[in-house]
C-alpha cells in the first residue's frame, strides 16, 4: 500500500480542528504525506476537544448569563434547551452552534483514526508502535462514535435498538463512498468491536494525557456496557479499569486536600496577619474565606492536564472551558459548601453571577483547574462501579466506591462515610454524586437521557415563577443532525 496518503479535502478540516499541523507535510497543497509511524501517531493527539454547551443548558447545569436574551430566544437552541420547548423546530438552527459543530468534529476525528488504522502498517517504523497506534485509533474511534450515538440518536433501549435509526458509520476512510445510516444497535456493535480489538494492545501508560491508554480503554468498555444496561459486564470492566489504572497505569484519584492544605500554608505565610489564625477561619461562611478563595484560585488550586486522575484529557468548547460558565442554584445546592473542596476550588468565589444572569447562580472561576470536559477521569470509573453494585443490590460496596471518591473531595477534618439503608438509597446517592463529580462534562446530558428512558422519569424545572416539564419520551433528549450533514448525505432526522 502506498505510503503517501492523499487526504484531499480532509486536510483543510484537519488543519482547522487539530493541533497536529506539524504532522501534515503539504506537498503540494491538498495532499498530506505521511511516511513515518510517528507521523500517524501524531494524528492521535487532538487538543481542540468537544464544543459542549447546549447540552449543559438542557440537563440543568448551566444558568443563562442574560435572562432577557434567553427569554427572547436570541440564541434559539440555547433557549429551547433551557425551557424544554418541544414546540420549537430545531433542525433549521443546527448550523454554527456547539451542538452542530460536535457532529463534524467527531467525524473529523474518526476520519483521521480510519487513516491510521488503514495505512500505518505501511509506514516506516517499528511493528510494536504500529500495533499500539492501531489500538489507540480504534479506542478513540469507539469513543467518538459513542459521543455521536448518544447525542444524535435516541437513548439506548435494548428492546428497540435494532430498529431505531442511528448514525452514519464508517470503519474505513473514503472520499468517494457515501456513508450509510445504521441502527443504534449497529453503532454499539461497532463501538464494542473496536473496544475489544483495541484493549489487548493499548499501552499501560500513554505518551501523554492526550493519547489513550489501557485504563481509558477499560473505562470506555465499562461505560458502553453501563449504557446498554449490561451491568455485570460494566462492573467487571470498571473494576478492571481501577486495577489497571492504580497499577501499571500509574493513575490515582486527585486528593484535593493536598492542594488545600498547601494553599492554607502559603496563604498564611504570604499574609503574616493571618499566620496564627485557625484553619476554620478560612472556610466557607467565615470572615476570611473570600480572601483565601480568591488567592487560591489564582495561585494554589491547580489541576494540570497531566494530573494522574485523567485517563484521557480533552478540552470542551475551548482550552479554558468551563471557566466563566454559570452554575444553576439547584446544582450548587448539591454541594456542602463548607466541606466540599470541589465547591471551594471552582465554584465558591462569589455568591451570585452578574446582575443580568439567572438569580442564585455562581460562576465557575478557576482557569488553572483543567476540568477535562470532553475526556474521562478515574473518578468516573469509581462511580460506575458504585452504580453497578447499587443496581445489583449490594449497597455496602456501592457506598464503598462512593466514599473512596469522597475521601479525596472533602476536607478531611469533616469527612465521614455516607451510608445507605438499602440499594435504592445507595443508587440515589450515586446519582447525586455523579451530578457533583461529573459536572460540566458530557455526563450530565447523557445521564439525563439514560435515566429518563430507563426509569420513565418526568423531570421538572423551576424558573422565573414557572414550572417546565420534560417527559421521558421527549424528542429534546436527542439533538437533530446539523443542516450541512442533511444537505450532503442521505440521513433521515432522528429528532426535531
| pLDDT tens, position by position, 415-455 | 999 999 999 999 999 999 999 999 999 999 999 999 999 99
| Assigned C-alpha cell, 433 | 454524586
Coil, strand or helix: which one is 149? Answer: helix
Residue 384 located in a structural domain: no
Determine the pLDDT at residue 2. Answer: 46
Residue 408 lies in a domain: no
pLDDT digits (tens, 9 = 90+) for 147-175: 999 999 999 999 999 999 999 999 988 77
Query: Based on the domain organization, do 167 and 244 belong to the same domain?
Result: yes
Number of folded domains in the chain? 2
Q: Rounding to the nearest 10 degrees, give the CA dihedral for residues 281, 283, 284, 286.
A: 0
Instruction: Specify whether 294 is located in the same domain as 147.
Output: no
Taking residue 318's Cβ as centre, other Cβ atoms within 10 Å add up to: 12
> What is the per-residue pLDDT for 348?
73
Cis peptide before 428 (omega within 30 of 0): no
Alpha carbon distance 157, 164 (integer Å): 9
Are 213 and 348 contained in the same domain? no
- 347: in domain: yes
Reference 345, options 319, 371, 325; nearest CA is 371
Clarify whether residues 220 and 134 are in a common domain: yes
Grid cell of 335 as nine digits: 454541594
Q: CA angle, 288 as apex, 323 and 271 as ends, to 5°?
A: 95
Contacts (Cβ under 8 Å, ≥6 apart) of 51: 98, 99, 101, 102, 105, 316, 317
Taking the mean position of all CA atoms in its chain, how far away is CA 333? 22
**Is residue 374 a contact partner of residue 106, using CB atoms and an 8 Å limit?**
no
Among candidate residues 98, 63, 16, the one with its CA nearest the CA of residue 317: 98
Query: For residue 349, what pLDDT is reported?
Result: 63
Q: Are residues 291 and 169 in the same domain?
A: no
Q: What dihedral angle (degrees, nearest 10) is formed by the CA atoms of 10, 146, 210, 250? A: -160
Regarding whether 102 and 121 lie in a shared domain, the answer is: yes
- φ, ψ for residue 64, nearest 5 deg: -70, 135
- Domain boundary (313, 348, 363) is at 363
Please check whether residue 216 lies inside any domain of the structure. yes
Angle between helices 378-391 and 423-437 (to 10 degrees): 160
| pLDDT number for residue 27 | 35
Bridge partners (DSSP) listed for residue 181? 168
Whether the Cβ atoms of residue 156 and residue 68 lie closer than 8 Å to each other: no
Same domain, 240 and 280: no
Look at residue 166 and tell me if it is in a domain.
yes
For position 307, what pLDDT does the model report? 97
Which residues, other chains included, contact 90 with Cβ-Cβ below 8 Å and sequence gap of 6+? 76, 77, 80, 479, 480, 495, 496
> Are residues 248 and 163 both part of a single domain?
yes
The β-bridge relationship of strands 326-327 and 466-470 is unpaired
Omega within 30 of 0 (cis) for the link into 28: yes
What pLDDT is recorded for position 20?
33
Three-state DSSP class for 312?
A: strand
Q: Residue 326's beta-bridge partner residues? A: 363
Domain span at 136: 10-51+98-252
Q: Which cell numbers in the block locate residue 492?
A: 433521515
Same domain flag for 269 and 206: no
Mean pLDDT of residues grouped by 10 in the chain (496 residues)? 44 38 37 83 88 96 97 96 98 85 95 96 95 98 99 97 97 82 98 99 98 99 99 99 98 97 94 92 92 86 94 93 92 96 84 85 87 97 99 99 99 98 98 98 98 97 97 98 91 96
Q: Based on the domain organization, do 294 and 199 belong to the same domain?
A: no
Identify whether residues 235 and 359 lie together within a single domain.
no
Reference 63, options 442, 469, 467, 357; nearest CA is: 357
Out of 189, 224, 252, pick the residue that ends a domain: 252
Neighbouring-strand partners of residue 215 = none
Residue 484 counted as domain residue = no
| 3-state SS class at 440 | coil
| pLDDT digits 0-9 by tens, 205-238 | 999 999 999 999 999 999 999 999 999 999 999 9
Query: Residue 195: which residues within 8 A CB-CB, separation 6 or more?
Result: 138, 139, 142, 217, 220, 221, 224
Among the candidates 363, 383, 411, a domain finishes at 363
* % the chain with pLDDT above 70: 92
CB burial class (10 A; 0-12, 13-18, 19+) of residue 443? buried
Same domain, 289 and 222: no
What is the reported pLDDT for 233? 99
Whether residue 459 is contained in a domain is answered as: no
CATH number at residue 184: 1.25.40.390
What does the pLDDT read at residue 350? 56
Contact in structure between 133 and 40 (CB atoms under 8 Å):
yes
Which ranges constitute the DSSP H helices of 350-422?
Answer: 378-391, 395-406
Q: Is the pTM of this model over 0.85?
A: yes
- Establish if 429 belongs to a structural domain: no
Nearest Cα neighbor of 406 from 259, 196, 232, 253 is 253
Q: Do residues 477 and 156 lie in contact, with contact meaning Cβ atoms separated by under 8 Å?
A: no
Sequence-distant (6+) residues with CB within 8 A of 431 are: 387, 447, 451
Please enumerate in sequence order all residues whose Cβ is within 8 A of that of 134, keeping only pairs 6 or more positions apart, or say none: 116, 117, 120, 121, 198, 201
Amino acid at each position: 500500500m502506498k505510503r503517501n496518503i492523499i487526504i484531499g479535502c480532509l486536510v483543510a478540516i484537519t488543519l482547522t480542528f487539530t493541533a497536529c499541523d506539524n504532522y501534515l507535510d503539504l506537498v503540494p497543497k491538498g495532499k498530506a504525506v505521511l511516511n513515518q509511524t510517528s507521523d500517524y501517531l501524531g494524528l492521535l493527539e487532538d487538543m481542540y476537544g468537544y464544543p459542549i454547551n447546549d447540552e449543559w443548558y438542557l440537563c440543568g447545569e448551566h444558568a443563562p448569563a442574560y435572562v432577557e436574551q434567553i427569554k427572547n430566544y436570541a440564541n434559539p437552541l440555547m433557549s429551547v434547551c433551557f425551557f424544554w420547548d418541544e414546540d420549537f423546530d430545531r433542525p433549521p438552527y443546527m448550523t454554527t452552534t456547539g451542538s452542530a459543530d460536535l457532529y463534524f468534529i467527531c467525524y473529523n476525528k474518526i476520519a483521521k483514526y480510519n487513516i491510521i488504522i488503514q495505512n500505518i502498517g505501511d509506514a516506516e517504523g517499528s511493528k510494536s508502535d504500529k500495533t499500539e497506534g492501531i489500538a489507540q485509533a480504534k479506542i478513540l474511534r469507539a469513543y467518538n462514535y459513542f459521543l455521536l450515538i448518544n447525542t444524535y440518536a435516541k437513548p439506548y433501549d435494548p428492546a428497540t435498538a435494532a430498529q431505531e435509526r442511528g448514525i452514519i458509520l464508517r470503519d474505513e476512510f473514503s472520499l468517494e463512498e457515501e456513508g450509510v445510516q445504521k441502527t443504534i444497535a449497529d453503532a454499539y456493535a461497532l463501538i464494542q468491536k473496536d473496544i475489544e480489538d483495541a484493549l489487548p494492545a493499548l499501552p499501560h501508560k500513554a505518551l501523554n494525557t492526550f493519547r489513550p491508554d489501557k485504563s481509558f480503554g477499560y473505562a470506555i468498555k465499562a461505560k458502553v456496557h453501563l449504557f446498554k444496561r449490561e451491568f455485570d459486564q460494566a462492573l467487571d470492566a470498571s473494576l478492571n479499569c481501577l486495577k489497571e489504572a492504580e497499577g501499571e497505569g500509574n493513575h490515582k484519584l486527585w486528593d484535593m486536600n493536598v492542594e488545600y492544605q498547601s494553599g492554607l500554608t502559603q496563604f498564611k505565610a504570604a499574609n503574616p496577619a493571618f499566620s496564627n489564625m485557625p484553619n476554620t477561619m478560612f472556610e466557607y461562611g467565615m470572615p476570611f474565606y473570600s480572601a483565601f478563595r480568591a488567592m487560591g484560585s489564582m495561585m494554589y488550586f491547580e489541576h494540570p492536564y497531566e494530573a494522574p486522575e485523567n485517563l484521557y484529557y480533552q478540552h470542551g468548547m475551548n482550552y479554558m472551558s468551563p471557566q466563566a460558565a454559570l452554575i444553576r442554584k439547584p446544582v450548587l445546592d448539591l454541594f456542602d459548601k463548607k466541606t466540599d473542596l470541589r465547591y471551594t476550588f471552582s465554584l465558591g468565589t462569589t455568591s451570585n453571577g452578574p446582575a443580568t444572569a439567572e438569580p442564585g447562580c455562581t460562576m465557575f472561576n478557576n482557569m488553572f483547574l483543567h476540568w477535562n470536559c470532553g475526556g474521562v477521569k478515574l473518578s468516573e470509573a469509581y462511580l460506575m462501579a458504585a452504580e453497578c453494585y447499587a443496581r445489583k443490590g449490594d449497597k455496602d460496596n456501592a457506598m464503598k466506591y462512593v466514599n473512596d471518591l469522597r475521601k479525596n473531595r472533602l476536607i478531611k477534618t469533616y469527612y465521614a462515610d455516607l451510608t445507605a439503608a438499602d440499594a435504592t438509597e445507595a443508587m440515589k446517592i450515586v446519582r447525586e454524586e455523579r451530578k457533583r463529580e461529573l459536572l460540566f462534562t458530557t455526563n450530565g446530558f447523557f445521564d439525563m437521557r439514560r435515566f429518563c428512558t430507563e426509569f420513565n422519569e418526568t423531570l421538572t424545572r423551576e424558573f422565573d415563577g414557572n414550572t417546565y416539564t420534560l417527559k421521558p419520551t421527549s424528542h429534546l433528549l436527542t439533538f437533530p443532525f446539523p443542516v450541512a450533514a442533511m444537505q450532503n448525505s442521505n440521513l433521515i432526522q432522528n429528532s426535531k
